[in-house]
Amino acid sequence: MFIRRQGRHHTIIEVKADVELTLKTRKDYLTGDNSDIIPTDTIKNTVHALAKLKGVKTIEQFSMDICHHFLTSFNHVLMVKVSMEEAPWRRLEKNGVQHAHAFIFNPESFRFCDVEQHLNGTPVLHSGVRNMKVLKTTQSGFEGFLRDRFTTLKDAKDRFFCTSVYSRWHYSKTQDVDFDAAWNCIKETIIEKFAGPYDRGEFSPSVQKTLYDTQVLVLDRVPEVDEIEIVMPNEHYFTIDMTRMGLVNNDEVLLPLDNPSGNITGTVRRKQRARL
């Protein structure tokens, strides 16, 4: 947890970091010589110290700070990989007034990033969002799919659509990027294409089409992103048959089904420009 205090106004960011180091040596494995091992204790204390010395503005920048430290402080470190996740704390707000120092845990989605950097190389940075569960009760269909003798699924002109979104994207550059703005834009774009306009929604002919349209819109809106992966698993809810109880269930009472379900995934990247 890192707290930035500006008078009475406090800002927080809580992160979980996993740090992996690749060393030049293998003697610790082959001969039991531990002289080149950087202990977990050192890695843990380094993360804490860097938070104090550099601050934690975004998980992306902090992850790159950690990579840079180990690659420049030890001449036998070949590669550093940092995976970081931010806890979803949200500042309390009432009647448009934000609280100065109180927050509520709001797990509607989780922000994460992965940074990998080799010695004398540049950081390779991915960011993402996971466990963002969304649903809509109408304006989703699935028709015209391939059928064979084992197919029992019926065409659905209108259905209940629920998914837990995972998305991970690659930044084409790591300097002069507003990571907070980019992450918020991508998250809101995913929600926007899933839900459609608030007063009327937007029809989805398949999860695949919604997924692809979202990726294209993200690449249009965030020029620093050159590749985006999205995973949208189908989380099924089925209408409960109440005929034996003498009741007509007009898709009002549904039951969630854990499995089986489809896991719809896709990756879209920008076309590489020709070099003259």
pLDDT digits (tens, 9 = 90+) for 112-170: 999 999 999 999 999 999 999 999 999 999 999 999 999 999 999 999 999 999 999 99
Token couple for 92: 């309390």
Structure tokens given for 269: 């990247």
Give the pTM: 0.92
What pLDDT, in 10s, does the model give residues 182-194?
Answer: 999 999 999 999 9
> Given a cut of 70, is residue 91 above it in pLDDT?
yes
3-40 pLDDT tens trace: 999 999 999 999 999 999 999 999 999 999 999 999 99
Alpha carbon distance 228, 214 (integer Å): 10
Residue 276 pLDDT: 58
CA-based end-to-end distance of the chain: 49
The stretch 237-245 carries a mean pLDDT of: 94
What is the per-residue pLDDT for 259? 78
Please tell me what DSSP assigns to residue 253.
S
Measuring CA to CA, which residue among 112, 218, 207 is closest to residue 164? Answer: 207
Q: What is the mean pLDDT of the chain?
A: 95
Residue 76 confidence (pLDDT): 96
Angle between helices 59-73 and 40-54 (to 10 degrees): 120
pLDDT at 272: 79
Distance CA(161)–CA(209), nearest Å, equals 13
Q: What is the mean pLDDT of residues 49-75?
A: 97
Token pair, residue 17, equals: 């970091």
Token digits of residue 65: 């700070």
Does 273 have pLDDT greater than 90? no
Q: Tell me the average pLDDT across 265-276.
A: 83
The helix or strand, by DSSP H or E, that contains position 264, with its residue range, turns out to be strand 263-269
Residue 141: C-alpha distances to residues 202, 213, 217, 251 (Å): 11, 16, 21, 15
